[in-house]
Amino acid sequence: MSTPWSLDGFELVCGLEVHVELTALRTKMFSAEPIDFGGAPNTRVGPVSAGLPGSLPVVNGAAVEAAARLGLALNCDVAERCQFHRKNYFYPDLPKNYQISQYDVPLCHDGWLEIEVDGDDLRIGIERVHMEEDTAKSSHEGDTGRLHGADRSLIDLNRAGIPLLECVSHPDIRRLEEAQAYLRELVAIARALGISNARMEEGSIRCDANVSVRRPGEEYGTRTEIKNLNSVRSVGRAIAHEAERQVRLLQDGGNVVQETRHWDEDRGVTETLRRKETLADYRYFPDPDLVAIVHPAGRVEQLRASLPELPAATRSRLVEVGVAASQAATIVAGDLVRWFDEAASMGAAPDAIGNWLAGEVTGQLGAAGLEPADSGMTGAHVGELLGLIADGSLSNALAKQVLEGVIEARGAKSPAQVAQERGLEQVSDEGELRAIVEQVIADNSDTVESIRGGNDKAIGALVGQVMKATRGQADPTLTNQLLRELIG
Amino acid sequence: MRSLVTATATELARRLDAGEVAAREVIDAHLDRIAAVDDSVGAFLEVTADHARARADEIDSRRAAGDDVPATAGVPIAIKDLFCTTGIPTTAASRILAGWRPPYDATVVRKIADAGLVMVGKANMDEFAMGSSTENSAYQPTRNPWNLDRVPGGSSGGSVAAVAGLMAPLAVGTDTGGSIRQPAALTGTVGLKPTYGRVSRYGIVAFASSLDQAGPIARTVEDTALLHQVISGHDPLDSTSIPEPVGDVMARLRDGVDGMRIGVVNELSGEGYEVGVSARFDESLRRFESLGATIVEASLPHAPYGLPAYYLVAPSEASSNLARYDGTLFGIRVDGETSAEMSANTRAAGFGVEVKRRIMIGTYALSAGYFDAYYQQASRVRTLILRDFERAFADVDVLVSPTSPTVAFPLGDKTADPLAMYLNDVATVPASLAGIPALSLPNGVDEAGLPTGLQIMAPTLREDLALRVAWAFEQDLGFSPIPVGHNTVAVP
Amino acid sequence: MLAQLAVTDDEVAGWTDELNKILAYAEQVGEVAAEDVSPTTHPYPLDNVFRPDEPGPVLDRDVLLAGGPETTDDRFVVPRIVAEE
């Protein structure tokens, strides 16, 4: 069990604001313009997301449902009545110079997320989940391509209006690992609900951290908001850096300024965003163009009943059928549950599936830089592979090579096909193997003598020789058996 | 030619449908009329002559081919320059949208085209619909066809002037605090503000979203009902659009007022209103009685707070709606070192004084620390006014008042005093805040021969009732909408 | 300034009086006792107005950019967002 973050008597107080882009939806939050992440700039835009004079928003019903389901998965109350508000501020990536969002009556509120860190189970409180629209994308032309020092900026409106869910936690986080576990679990939940592919590298899930420090028992300290956290690892590093920065500042007699800071991954530091971040007055008021959203109790129960198996339940289920807990966690976090279930339905043993998915499959996909969804592989491939191992056609070693081949072919070839094409079938024919074993024995009389003399371990060398002669395809169990039989 | 431009839309439709006259003839007659008089009136910012002739020719071919063509196809209409018209400049009478050509049509514009009505031009208005005299237009003032030295009212001044000046039998305007009714009253025309949500706001440049409503303007009640039928109805592109079907607005138009109870709103009648306005109003009440209606007293206790509440709610919504005009994606641009400077410079150069004034008031009313006392309190007063109307309508069928405290005033008379200008809306604003339908029709002229207007307010969704009461009154009064008197527009 | 309007000092001086008068007039709403009254934002009571998640038309890019004050062939251009040091 590990202890909370602490430095010179200061403790960490951290909350996370996570934005989830609803990549599973087909249209934007307030208009029927299509969502398409690959589109050329400004080709997925209509009057509404361009904020043209006279345009009006109409709510995407599927987005509301997705938001309610996320809230319920996070144990929130779904508001019987909620409203969209306008958040007014001027910025070039905001076509209307206001963002349609939610203010004091959000869709979901007062929930929690259970996480496990180093054997501790704890709850991080969730203040709210609300709906809003994404902003346009600006790119900057200048020497560095960054905001500062740019000569001018270019605006692409494709992203403007894409549905976003904002999830705000209470400042309950006390350890870096908690922040990371919280984020990972939120990712897993979003994917399990099928509302977003939740990929930090792609920006379909974004995390800002609110960080402050204090001596235990004292009032909350002034907090800063850290932006530009592009991976779970960055989240941990940035919080650690910022907390230490604040402690040193306070020890030097300074004050923490309430501001937004930008995390620089390369240099490992946070720095003030030079954009004027005076306490903004967003002049929130209910959006007169959008009417209230009502969720009667019956509807909420309907939604709750429709929730799929959530990650925590999936992990338990996997453990119950014999998968190691850490493997279950890897499988759920790695989006491999569907493959597990499919392989299991084909008759593969759960613990074997668990080993393979959490081990070799995760490793090889990671090495190839692929997410399961992009690999072209299926759970049927996994099931088939395990079947070939079980019936003796492949050894574990050979199966690893076959897996490589399936991944390389992006799933276009089945394991059986790859094995055949590459001549990777295990040699299990006793007659064939016996002949080879006899040959190896004949060629290695010294080693054989050593084994007969009691040096049992030396048999490994002979197994190796048999493997060499069969290009690694000899059935290891049978090989061992034959060697012992023939050596005596 | 005279008969074509003085005819009602209903009459023109009958003749067009019967094949007695070609659409091209009708359109040419009106375009000629515009060419003859609009230099002195200034009703139009843009005359869409080529578009109109092309549409007219198309309609004539289709009629000749025996196609199914609406009876109204070929009737001309003026469209306030607040409605988006594809490829045709839509400026909201502001410099900031100078030359802006929308890439899409407002739903109302589409419905108008589907009915075969032919747009002859984009009508002048107060900039961003903010004003009561059309003097806030960045481009030109509009003059009242009844007296060219006087204002036509606003903000739909160009629309009513086009109709009163016989340049089109129909016009579509917008009403946020009285912007159809007040100018209709000042120009002897009929104007209706429908129930909020009855007519789609999609494609209408927004001023105050919870108040804006498009509505018909014509010289007769029947024509007004006809246009209302065309433009009203549910629109899935507008979330505030009422799903309830409109029904046949004209089904009971001629049923009369015998046995109806008509309430005179205490707080909106007489005090501070011009002599001629009050006199014509009193006569109107007697006329209703002679038609078999019962006149009763009615009270809207919070009505006096309507105008103050309106001048908090409307500017607040406007300050947000107009934030998008910053030189980034559309409209004019005035350069700056940074994008913030560029947008501030663009807005300073592009917006007129009244617009800036309202943006500042609205920004203030929404700001932290003031929100509750200003915007929220005004919104609470709005609830109280709504309840006042509900209570009043439990006892009467419709409510009446003079539309405007004054007749048309001289250009320049009130431009120096914004508050004096705002007071023009004192009688029209309560119905706007409550979202109920309200109509203005001419009830005579004052001692100088300038038109006065009668306002009829009906319960939510009951435009048909307001129109029915108006029709009975109109038939009995026999008011002639052709301008007559001192310094009028040239009459054909 | 929150309203993002570039105003000169002269203009501000000229307008302050007028704005104060208008606000004083509007402040009359404060005379109404309304603590227990809920505010009205939408005069006609509607709720749950939704649209199905079905893609619709978009604007042709050239048409969209044609309305822009300054553009490249695929994007809108704005001056630097952060001032030079």
On chain C, the residues whose CB falls within 8 A of the CB of B236 are 51
Going by C-alpha positions, the residue among A181, B490, A28, A146 that lies closest to residue C58 is A28
- Cα B82-B85-B88 angle, rounded to 5 deg: 105
Mean pLDDT of B93-97: 98
Residues 6+ apart with CB under 8 A from B438: B181, B192, B193, B428, B431, B432, B455, B456, B457, B458, B466
Enumerate the β-bridge partners of residue B192: B439
Query: What is the CB neighbour count within 10 angstroms for residue A427?
Result: 21
- What digits encode the pLDDT tens for the residues A12-69? 999 999 999 999 999 999 999 999 888 899 999 999 999 999 999 999 999 999 999 9
Q: What is the pLDDT of residue A278?
A: 55
Mean pLDDT of A187-209: 95
pLDDT-based confidence at residue B270 (cuts at 50, 70, 90): low
Task: Report in angstroms the alpha-carbon separations of B67 from A362, B52, B63, B113, B230.
Answer: 68, 20, 6, 16, 20
Does residue C81 belong to the interface with chain A, where contact is any CB pair within 8 Å?
A: yes
- What digits encode the pLDDT tens for the residues A115-155? 989 888 999 999 999 999 999 999 998 877 777 778 899 99
Query: Looking at the predicted structure, is the pLDDT value of residue B261 above 70?
Result: yes
In angstroms, rounded to a whole number, what is the distance separating the alpha carbons of residues B20 and B342? 57
Q: What is the pLDDT of residue A330?
A: 92
What is residue A226's DSSP assignment?
E
Query: Looking at the predicted structure, is the pLDDT value of residue B238 above 80?
Result: yes
- Phi-psi sector, A460: left (phi>0), alpha (psi -120 to 50), beta: alpha
Between A31, A63, A153, which is nearest C80 by CB?
Answer: A153
Mean pLDDT of B240-264: 96
Question: Is residue B486 included in any domain, yes or no?
Answer: no
CB atoms B209 and A289 under 8 Å: yes
Amino acid code (one letter) for B329: L
Amino acid code (one letter) for A136: A
Does residue A39 belong to the interface with chain C, where contact is any CB pair within 8 Å?
A: no
Tracing tokens 């992009």 back to the chain, one arrives at: A374
Query: What is the CB neighbour count within 10 angstroms for residue A279?
Result: 7
Token couple for A179: 């922040």
Number of helices (H), then strands (E), in chain C: 2, 2
Between B205, B320, B326, which is nearest A54 by CB?
Answer: B205
Question: Is residue B450 included in any domain, yes or no?
Answer: no
Contact between residue B154 and residue B414 where contact means Cβ atoms under 8 Å apart? no
Q: What is the pLDDT of residue A280?
A: 77
Contact between residue A14 and residue A238 where contact means Cβ atoms under 8 Å apart? no
Query: Looking at the predicted structure, is the pLDDT value of residue B2 above 80?
Result: no
Q: What is the pLDDT of residue C10?
A: 64
Question: Is residue B332 included in any domain, yes or no?
Answer: no
Q: What is the pLDDT of residue A458?
A: 86
CB atoms A97 and B323 under 8 Å: yes
What are the residue ranges spanned by the domains of chain A?
A: 6-299, 309-421, 430-487
Query: Looking at the predicted structure, is the pLDDT value of residue B262 above 60?
Result: yes
- Cα B310-B311-B317 angle, rounded to 5 deg: 80
Residues 6+ apart with CB under 8 A from A168: A15, A16, A17, A18, A126, A127, A128, A129
What is residue C42's DSSP assignment?
-
Contact between residue A134 and residue A60 where contact means Cβ atoms under 8 Å apart? no
In angstroms, rounded to a whole number, what is the distance separating the alpha carbons of residues B91 and A345? 65
Question: Is residue B7 included in any domain, yes or no?
Answer: yes
More confident residue, B296 or B1: B296
Helices B306-321 and B353-366, packing angle to 10 deg: 100
Active site residues of B: 80, 155, 179
Going by C-alpha positions, the residue among B357, B345, B332 that lies closest to residue C6 is B345
% of chain A with per-residue pLDDT over 90: 72
Q: What CATH code would you report for A430-487? A: 1.10.10.410
Pairing of strands B44-47, A10-21: unpaired
CB atoms A98 and B320 under 8 Å: yes
CB atoms B204 and A52 under 8 Å: no
Does residue C82 belong to the interface with chain B, where contact is any CB pair within 8 Å?
A: yes
Residue B56, SS3 per DSSP? helix
Helix, strand, coil content of chain C in percent (nearest 5)? 35, 10, 55
% of chain C with per-residue pLDDT over 70: 84
Burial class (CB in 10 A: 0-12, 13-18, 19+), B25: middle
Tracing tokens 């001692």 back to the chain, one arrives at: B447
Domain of residue B161, CATH code: 3.90.1300.10
Q: What is the pLDDT of residue B381?
A: 97
Q: Alpha carbon B75 to chain centroid distance?
A: 19
Contact between residue B285 and residue B264 where contact means Cβ atoms under 8 Å apart? yes
- What digits encode the pLDDT tens for the residues B402-434? 999 999 999 999 998 999 999 999 999 999 999
The parent domain of residue B192 ranges over: 2-244
Going by C-alpha positions, the residue among B76, B21, B82, B83 that lies closest to residue B49 is B76
Contact between residue A256 and residue A214 where contact means Cβ atoms under 8 Å apart? no
In angstroms, rounded to a whole number, what is the distance separating the alpha carbons of residues B266 and B367? 35
Q: Give the chain C residue nearest B362 (alpha carbons).
A: C3
Q: Which of B175, B326, B382, B426 would you mutate first to test chain C, the one with the most C CBs within 10 A?
A: B382
In angstroms, rounded to a whole number, what is the distance separating the alpha carbons of residues A7 and A272? 23
Evaluate the CA torsion angle A428, A430, A434, A436 in order and state its sign. negative
Token couple for A18: 């996570």
Token couple for B103: 């890439």
- Phi-psi sector, B187: left (phi>0), alpha (psi -120 to 50), beta: alpha
Contact between residue B43 and residue B123 where contact means Cβ atoms under 8 Å apart? yes
Backbone phi, then psi, for A16, in 5-degree steps?
Answer: -120, 140
CB atoms B103 and C19 under 8 Å: no
Average pLDDT, rounded, for chain A: 92
Question: Is residue B32 included in any domain, yes or no?
Answer: yes
Burial class (CB in 10 A: 0-12, 13-18, 19+), B433: buried
In angstroms, rounded to a whole number, what is the distance separating the alpha carbons of residues B395 and B397? 7
List the chains bordering chain B where 3 or more Cβ pairs fall under 8 Å: A, C
On chain A, the residues whose CB falls within 8 A of the CB of B323 are 88, 90, 96-98
- Cα B366-B383-C25 angle, rounded to 5 deg: 50
Q: Alpha carbon B489 to chain centroid distance?
A: 21
Mean pLDDT of B135-159: 98
Residue A457, SS3 per DSSP? helix
List the chains bordering chain A where 3 or more Cβ pairs fall under 8 Å: B, C
% of chain B with per-residue pLDDT over 90: 97
In angstroms, rounded to a whole number, what is the distance separating the alpha carbons of residues C42 and C50? 16
Number of domains making up chain B: 1
- What digits encode the pLDDT tens for the residues A232-291? 999 999 999 999 999 999 999 999 988 889 999 999 999 987 555 456 799 999 999 999
What is residue B129's DSSP assignment?
G
Token couple for A183: 């984020």
- What digits encode the pLDDT tens for the residues B104-118? 999 999 999 999 999
Q: What is the pLDDT of residue A394?
A: 86
Average pLDDT, rounded, for chain B: 97
Contact map slice: A 52-71 vs B, CB within 8 A = 52-59
In angstroms, rounded to a whole number, what is the distance separating the alpha carbons of residues B79 and B75? 13
Query: Looking at the predicted structure, is the pLDDT value of residue B442 above 70?
Result: yes
In angstroms, rounded to a whole number, what is the distance separating the alpha carbons of residues B316 and B454? 30
Enumerate the β-bridge partners of residue B438: B193, B457
pLDDT-based confidence at residue A487 (cuts at 50, 70, 90): confident
Residue B145, SS3 per DSSP? coil
Helix (H) or strand (E) holding A98: strand A98-101
Mean pLDDT of B37-42: 98
Tracing tokens 């597990």 back to the chain, one arrives at: A340
Q: What is the pLDDT of residue C40?
A: 95
In angstroms, rounded to a whole number, what is the distance separating the alpha carbons of residues B308 and B373? 12
Q: What is the pLDDT of residue B74?
A: 98
- Cα B230-B231-B237 angle, rounded to 5 deg: 135
Token couple for B149: 């030295």
CB atoms A33 and C54 under 8 Å: no
Q: What is the pLDDT of residue A40?
A: 96
Pairing of strands B261-265, B294-298: parallel
Helix (H) or strand (E) holding B321: helix B306-321
In angstroms, rounded to a whole number, what is the distance separating the alpha carbons of residues B222 and B470? 9
Contact between residue A227 and residue A242 where contact means Cβ atoms under 8 Å apart? no
Query: Looking at the predicted structure, is the pLDDT value of residue C17 above 90?
Result: no
Helix (H) or strand (E) holding B438: strand B438-445
